[in-house]
Amino acid sequence: MKHIARIAALADLLHRRLPFGRRLVVALLAAATAWAGASQTGSAQTATEWVQTGRALLTTSNLPAASAAFAQAIQKDPTLDDANALHAATRVLLIYSLPAVSNLLTRLGEPTQGRNLHHWTAAPPRDAEGRLALPPAVSTAEITETLRSSVLPELVAAELELARITNSSFLLRLTAGETKLSAVDVDYGDVLMLRAILKALAFWTYTIHSWDLDAPARVLSRLGETPGNTAEEVLARYPSLLTFATTNDMTAGRAAFSSMVDLYVAATTRIFSRLPSETRLFNTDSSESGASIERDVRFLLQDLQASLSQPTLLRASPPLRAQMDRMFAGKNSIRSFLPEFQGNIPTGGTLPDPTFGGFLLGLDPADVPYSIKHKRNAGHRIQVTRWIPGAGVRLDVNGIPGVTYEVVAADDLAESLDAWLGLGTVFPADGHSVFLDPGSVEQTRRFYALLPSSRPQNDDFQNRLPLHGASAIARGWNDEATTEPGEPDHGFNGFNPNWSSIWWSWTAPRSGPVVIDSCSGSYPQVDVYTGAKLSQLTLVGRSGDDQNVGCRVEFMAEAGVVYAIAAGQPFGPGGSVRLQLTQLATSANTSIDSSAPIQKLGSLIQGTDSTYLVDDTGGQAEGLWWNWTAPATGRYWITRDGSDDNHLFSILAQDALGELQFIGEGGYSVAFDAVQGGKYFILSTREDGGNTVAFRLQSIAGPRNDEPSLADPIVGDQATLVGSNAGATVSTSEPVPQGPEATVWWRFTAPANGFLTIEAFRSDFDVDLSAFQQTGLELTSTPWSWSSSGSFGLSVSSGKTYYMRAGGWDGEWGRIVLHTRFNR
């Protein structure tokens, strides 16, 4: 071992001091390996000793030699966790030194001097404007081929090495000398996250390698920035660009994506279960916004993974649904989804498939052009040669629906656009419009430009656009809209800031409930009024107020009444506006006698009722009724699917005498135990009436610790408890029946007198916590033991057992993460 260490030290000296030293490093280490193999068993290095040698080399910044030492350790013992972790990390960090990658960097113009991971000074050349000056001979396809053939195998091999680490108690402590940054502890959660990242990189590599990118990298890096390099010109010059180059990697890409999601979920579960005082390689963001972002990311990944099998609702972006298996079908290339371009301008109305090959469902076709609105080049000019004798020039205008354009003209293209003559405005409501230039009655050469107007056509109340029928979609832009004199303050109590409102009118074809959804686009506030004059408007409904939570407004319409609808933002720029107006049809199942049967578990069940009110008088509640016969004995679970916060689901069982027995209720969800062949009724009610309800009924096992008698133990002075209340109930043995629904339980036996703190951290919802102590056969509430904010503390006595209840009001459900700390 002493001789090998000396050779490693010599390799490190050559690596740092001599320009040709790197080439000798491999030879010297190979000699060391051979020497070790030829040595007697008593003097050969063990796997652990090879790891120690590699870590010593890390402190000298000799990454290649360290990686070679870790490889020797794996050869000695493939199951050694530290060796697998360190070799996986160093082989990824050394990807830049692979011959193919190093050659590509050279071809891209990056100098060989300064390519040292610990002190990287090499940089590709840039032009005077700071843009990459890539050589014209390097194709983007060459880059993706290098990624596929040289980089990807290293990523796959590194992930396989990390996958050998299966010890959930794994902990690797790296010093600042080894990392050259700061000391860090790496645990099993970090390993899972690193594996997820490597799987994500593999998925990305498989994906981009499937695209045809056989165009100079210099061209694509400056797309749209230089003359002759517009989107229109590049796509015409390279007709195969962004089509499929190969579909051979589709299966591997799909598997990499699915594995990445599994690993990410497993990693975050372990990372969230750490004690707040523990700091590792990957750590949590304890802020409310950080928790919300992570939850949305996790939901999105899980939903996309589920969509590999069937269309799945995206919980973070309802009502959109995804069908990701279409991405791996090899039928639709990226190019097939591109709209037409004029220069760098996407032409409105030319997007071939707003579902992107069925990948994204529930997106209105008109929504997609809005997303490219601000990428248009306002100075695009068009020569028009259609001339009507004696009338002038007719312009066929194709634009983005709902955007107002100004038509300008000039006789000379050399004129500054600011000097062109304004002819008027057009508003292509469906993407197409016609404009006549009567000033050009003679057939002369003239040029025209179509520019976004500074104000929307329906900026003022008197210019509101009509909507027709029981179902209508309103589209527009309000980023240049204004507040006109005498306009209502839209709920700002006399203070009306720069309100960017645009207006529509709608005449109710019949009486009944109406919903206006503004959850697409820039999420404007929507106000509904009656009245024919701006100064005499009466408010009917407003999104975001006490009666209309979120981006919806609901009201009861009267047949023949004209309603004025305003959409706008009070502060800052606006954006795209898309309103979906729906006058709801009334469902037939408005009584128990007309209850609708539920035939299939898991299916989406919907209904609408104009009365739809809770009856507090003791009579039969008005609402919507369904009946269902249990196919088997077990736990069943109703979850809300898109309904708003005001819904309440009640479950009633019919006994042998035909009487109804109340067995449970909840808003977000409600779980109940059913007996095979038993008949059950589901009643959906809503406090303020007039809206749809959507839910699913499915079977579920339910949590293990659903009752106090099944409470999971809390062990140790500090503990992290991870669970879920999905499918949980409120059992008859629970105290304080007025507490939260969907509860789960833990218990703690105090080893001594002291203080116990319980905190809900990074859970999926606002967890309601309570503590109880056992008095005889009953559980009684302890002083200062309740918290809706997710944390509290209580004094405990030695030898006594305390029960912790966690749940969600109105059946709110999801993952629950609790941290407990006992101070003696």
Series of mean pLDDT values for 10-residue runs along the chain (824 residues) = 46 44 43 42 76 95 95 96 97 95 92 83 82 87 95 97 96 94 94 97 96 91 79 90 93 96 92 82 76 82 92 80 91 87 69 81 60 42 55 70 72 71 69 71 68 76 91 82 83 66 93 83 85 92 69 87 90 74 80 90 77 39 85 94 71 89 89 95 72 84 92 91 90 69 91 88 80 69 53 85 88 87 88
708-823 shares the fold of 596-699: yes
From residue 790, how far is each of 724, 739, 771, 787, 794 by CA, in Å?
A: 15, 15, 12, 6, 14
State the CATH architecture for 708-823: Sandwich (2.60)
CATH of 461-582, one of 3.90.1150.10, 1.10.1060.10, 2.60.120.380, 3.90.1010.10: 2.60.120.380
Fold that domain 596-699 belongs to in CATH = Jelly Rolls (2.60.120)
Question: In a 3-state reduction of DSSP, which class is residue 155?
Answer: helix
DSSP state of 208: H
Burial of residue 107 (number of CB atoms within 10 Å: 0-12, 13-18, 19+):
middle
Contact, 373 vs 348, CB < 8 A?
A: no
Nearest to 179, CA basis, from 287, 61, 269:
61
Whether the Cβ atoms of residue 514 and residue 583 lie closer than 8 Å to each other:
yes
CA dihedral 297, 300, 306, 312 (to 10 degrees): 160
Beta-carbon contacts of residue 428 (< 8 Å; ≥ 6 apart):
348, 397, 398, 399, 400, 401, 403, 405
What is the pLDDT at residue 246?
92
Domain boundaries, the chain: 131-284, 339-453, 461-582, 596-699, 708-823
Neighbours of 245 (CB within 10 A): 19
* 289 contacts 301 by C-beta, under 8 angstroms: no
Continuous segment of H or E residues that includes residue 142: helix 140-146
Pairing of strands 447-452, 405-410: antiparallel
Residues 600, 606, 610, 613, Cα dihedral to 10° = 70
CA pair distance 93, 149, nearest whole angstrom: 17
801: tokens are 């057992």
Which backbone phi and psi does 154 adopt, to 5 degrees? -70, -40
Specify whether the CB–CB gap between 650 and 683 falls below 8 A: yes
Helix, strand, coil percentages (3-state) for the chain, rounded to 5, are 25, 30, 45
Give the dihedral of Cα atoms 727, 733, 739, 740; nearest 10 deg.
-10
